[in-house]
Structure 1
């Protein structure tokens, strides 16, 4: 072979090798909105009165999943599932969420998606709302798991914050511990409070609500979301210059309370402040995509946008109804519920190098599935005691019309369970299990059966409880949930342990259970 051809051949082989290596190590940017409803995006809901042009464009350039679900109807459990690939009800947290000063929920010995990507040579970062607990230095005798931290005297803010994201797979983190309505209102960067509280603030307004608590000099509630976005953009710019694959987990505190759109978005949506805040989030997503494109990394970056659960009543549904907007679209319920609108969430993937543009998938996926999907893409091996509830949906990303999950477990704020398999969904509660009617308190005064069964293909709005006509299906789904709980996992592999007991039978179910032969 001529010398020139040898050089050309070498360059082509080298380029091909680099391309293949990059294809198996794409950057990952995972944006988690807070309390954003499935029907709030105009690409999901043609009747949406809130226009989301940036997310609509991203969906057209990528893939939109219409049957995506969070692991829970509320914040903390969903976030646990994203990072660990495991349902949160397997931990000490059997209901509700953590407070703003709660201790860490994720065991530091647990293998996370951050650990997996670090092992594959990624730089990993968390910028935003953590809400999985970390360990402030509390004064002796002071309880830490609390929502009523009204002053800053019980925490020594000069001491390191332990067992945060840096202990479970993140090289860098900057964020706030809980929801933006939970004190203390301080930023923590790599285990250090950036500025100690110097005042106490509170907002009693229904939409703009935040609890009374110590607030740092560098912390202004209305500026938190823009701050996280700016820092996320800076991170992208820095990693693009440095080179090497990166993972940015960017959980936003919006449009959760306090609902505080910045000035340029007030009144823009034509709905209310919540709609304005959603439009601000949409605009921020345009900024993130611009940063990826301007820094030359958009082509081989997996950009994912989703939400931790459905829309909260704090959005003021009466105001939204008045203009014809339904945050849950056709689905029943809202945040906190076992009904669909509590956990069916928007899910958009943009990855020019890895998927065809303009695709829509009805594959059922869960937010716990990030772990297994990323492992599949990067060809990483998952330990047998990790990601117990994570299933790869890479085949769906590649365009296959396929159902990858055997079943999906849903969980409400009061600890009620539901399980979905195919078109069928069994709720082990007489009502919503959450905040929409009938609430757990309301069901105590009503004569309702303790379980509900819906065929979502025929009844997506969950109006007709058909358990009496489909007892075999009740038995099938109940048995499947029982096995998932007993085995400590819902995927193939050795049996694992849950922390503490995990009862899932609703009150008053014993008699019906016997009649069903369960």
Structure 2
């Protein structure tokens, strides 16, 4: 090769190397600048249980209130459903829960995985964008326990006998690790659902050697196999401690981290540690919440001491409203209403079932002390994560998730972020919210509060659907369905469109999962609602 050609080759080689180094440096710089993300999900925490949300609240929550004062709180945030499993599905996938194969109710601690590995989750998205991802806590989205024998007729997981065929010595399949989590540690269902076994990265940390059951009023849990390292009273603190340890270990590393910390509390069993018992002067539920607030303070302290506060995004919210198991009657008699001014509670289609506290802090981007009345949904987390990391969502990803960044950064919006938001209750009832109007496609609570499916004589006297003006009637007391038939038909048509197109965001129509059940929804084929 002559000198001229050699020189040209050297120049080309140097140019290519420079470009590659530049790309590498740019990517590293980009990853270094991305925020750490911590998502804390309380279980059955009511909108009015957090002090800063309820001027008449009786439970001190100074650390959660502080988080709100240093960040932004939303007054009109909603879980996808008014019960546990469906909301968790929506948070991780950005998809309405009823698009999955689970059309109503919740899973048990024995249920198979609800989310297939092929579906994008916020964990798999962030992992692809350079994050180390971890889940620590209550899963309640199903995973596949190993079986001793195939082909045996098994129970659903509500009774002790249902667990005889599980082989706890073998790894689970379709685990959180298969959905994008580098590290996964937790238990399969709610803390009152057997089996009571910790699973770490697909393997039980200890084999169950005993059977436990608690029948006490507040602290009950179902009978089931229990591992020696699984102590119900210690589970909440165990998750917090592991979460704090994770933050300390991953702080200031060469890649950002995402910690999903779904708590099993203050859901039953209500188990405040001894030093918190009686602290609230209300009841054990309030004591339990005070304990959670304390550990939120410890988590905040760990973030500060690690020197990562400025560029760490922290979310605190709840999967649905407060449960009647908290003894709502007693709390209300003592002046505390977990639903604040709103009607209903966990399981219901009413606001108390799905309106939740939503607090987000990110000093680098969000001004302290901001309050937003924007209507948002917990499903919006994944689209927000995509925007933060410059990930382009495809048509078959996060079909019901909206990017919150314009609101978080204080941009002036010329229209609402969401066109509308869909709500869902434990029995599969739908509601749709657009602006001040909320249309519930049922004439009962859709859940446990009055009137419910058991109140047949009362329901026979009511209109088939419910329309409320939440601006003038946040307590949902006056059904306006007869006065505003045009609004009813408009919202019914929009809800029908969202269901049939498999998405509520712009994009190509998608298929809903599972066997068709839409024939149960009489209003899908109705052009007009008869009153």
TM-score for the superposition, normalised by structure 2: 0.91
**Are the equivalent residues in 1 in contact too, given 2:503–2:510 (CA < 8 A)?**
yes
Task: Write out per-residue CA displacement over residues 464-483 of structure 1, whole angstroms, 9 at most, x where no aligned residue.
Answer: 00010000000010000000
**Are the equivalent residues in 1 in contact too, given 2:171–2:203 (CA < 8 A)?**
yes
Distance in 2, Cα, partners of 1:254 & 1:106:
23
Task: Write out per-residue CA displacement over residues 437-465 of structure 1, whole angstroms, 9 at most, x where no aligned residue.
Answer: 11122145532111000010010000000
**1:474 alignment partner, SS class:** helix
Distance in 2, Cα, partners of 1:395 & 1:495:
25
TM superposition shift of 1:23: 7.9
Task: Write out per-residue CA displacement over residues 356-389 of structure 1, whole angstroms, 9 at most, x where no aligned residue.
Answer: 0000000111000000011111111112101000
Distance in 2, Cα, partners of 1:276 & 1:86:
34
TM superposition shift of 1:115: 1.1
Counterpart in 2 of 1:86?
95
TM superposition shift of 1:19: 11
Residue 501 (1) aligns with residue 510 (2): no
Distance in 2, Cα, partners of 1:449 & 1:506:
16
Q: In the superposition, relative to structure 1, how do residues 308 and 401 fare at CA in structure 2: closer, same or farther (>3 Å)?
A: farther
Q: In the superposition, relative to structure 1, how do residues 356 and 389 fare at CA in structure 2: closer, same or farther (>3 Å)?
A: same
Which one is further off, 78-87 or 137-146? Answer: 137-146
Task: Write out per-residue CA displacement over residues 84-116 of structure 1, whole angstroms, 9 at most, x where no aligned residue.
Answer: 000111111000000011000001111111111
**Are the equivalent residues in 2 in contact too, given 1:150–1:212 (CA < 8 A)?**
no
Counterpart in 1 of 2:434?
421
Match of 2:418 among 378, 394, 405: 405
**Are the equivalent residues in 1 in contact too, given 2:154–2:162 (CA < 8 A)?**
no
Match of 1:331 among 342, 346, 350: 342
Task: Write out per-residue CA displacement over residues 122-162 of structure 1, whole angstroms, 9 at most, x where no aligned residue.
Answer: 00000000000001012321436322234753211111111
Distance in 1, Cα, partners of 2:124 & 2:104:
27
Distance in 2, Cα, partners of 1:323 & 1:232:
34
Distance in 2, Cα, partners of 1:516 & 1:79:
33
TM superposition shift of 1:431: 1.2
Q: In the superposition, relative to structure 1, how do residues 426 and 248 fare at CA in structure 2: closer, same or farther (>3 Å)?
A: same
**1:441 alignment partner, SS class:** coil
Structure 1 residues 94-243: aligned runs within 5 Å: 94-139=103-148, 140=150, 141-143=152-154, 145-150=156-161, 152-240=163-251, 242-243=253-254
Residue 27 (1) aligns with residue 27 (2): no
Task: Write out per-residue CA displacement over residues 214-241 of structure 1, whole angstroms, 9 at most, x where no aligned residue.
Answer: 0000001010000000000111011015
Counterpart in 1 of 2:476?
462
Distance in 2, Cα, partners of 1:62 & 1:388:
27
TM superposition shift of 1:298: 1.4
**2:518 alignment partner, SS class:** coil
Task: Write out per-residue CA displacement over residues 288-314 of structure 1, whole angstroms, 9 at most, x where no aligned residue.
Answer: 111111111111010000000000000
Match of 1:271 among 276, 282, 302: 282
**Are the equivalent residues in 2 in contact too, given 1:151–1:200 (CA < 8 A)?**
no
Match of 2:57 among 26, 48, 58: 48
**Are the equivalent residues in 2 in contact too, given 1:416–1:504 (CA < 8 A)?**
no
Counterpart in 2 of 1:7?
none
TM superposition shift of 1:21: 3.1
**Are the equivalent residues in 1 in contact too, given 2:518–2:524 (CA < 8 A)?**
no
Structure 1 residues 287-302: aligned runs within 5 Å: 287-302=298-313
Two-structure CA RMSD over aligned residues (Å): 2.1
Match of 1:59 among 68, 83, 86: 68
Q: In the superposition, relative to structure 1, how do residues 84 and 237 fare at CA in structure 2: closer, same or farther (>3 Å)?
A: same
Task: Write out per-residue CA displacement over residues 17-63 of structure 1, whole angstroms, 9 at most, x where no aligned residue.
Answer: 89973685111000000000000001000100001000111110100
**Are the equivalent residues in 1 in contact too, given 2:277–2:284 (CA < 8 A)?**
yes
Task: Write out per-residue CA displacement over residues 186-238 of structure 1, whole angstroms, 9 at most, x where no aligned residue.
Answer: 00000000001111011112211100000000001010000000000111011
TM superposition shift of 1:505: 6.2
Distance in 2, Cα, partners of 1:226 & 1:364:
32
Distance in 1, Cα, partners of 2:380 & 2:201:
27
TM superposition shift of 1:354: 1.0
TM superposition shift of 1:400: 3.3
**Are the equivalent residues in 1 in contact too, given 2:157–2:194 (CA < 8 A)?**
no
Match of 1:344 among 340, 344, 355: 355
**1:389 alignment partner, SS class:** coil
TM superposition shift of 1:253: 0.1
Mark the structure with the bigger radius of gyration. 2
Task: Write out per-residue CA displacement over residues 309-355 of structure 1, whole angstroms, 9 at most, x where no aligned residue.
Answer: 00000000121012100000000000000000100000000111111
Distance in 2, Cα, partners of 1:198 & 1:277:
28
**1:43 alignment partner, SS class:** helix
Distance in 2, Cα, partners of 1:213 & 1:390:
37
**Are the equivalent residues in 2 in contact too, given 1:450–1:506 (CA < 8 A)?**
no
TM superposition shift of 1:73: 0.3
Structure 2: state its 5+ residue gaps. Answer: 1-24
Residue 365 (1) aligns with residue 376 (2): yes
Distance in 1, Cα, partners of 2:139 & 2:84:
10
**Are the equivalent residues in 2 in contact too, given 1:39–1:48 (CA < 8 A)?**
yes
**Are the equivalent residues in 2 in contact too, given 1:23–1:300 (CA < 8 A)?**
no
**Are the equivalent residues in 2 in contact too, given 1:130–1:177 (CA < 8 A)?**
yes
TM superposition shift of 1:435: 0.8
Distance in 2, Cα, partners of 1:286 & 1:383:
38
**Are the equivalent residues in 2 in contact too, given 1:24–1:378 (CA < 8 A)?**
no
Distance in 2, Cα, partners of 1:48 & 1:374:
33
Distance in 1, Cα, partners of 2:428 & 2:99:
12
Distance in 1, Cα, partners of 2:108 & 2:162:
15
Residue 487 (1) aligns with residue 501 (2): yes
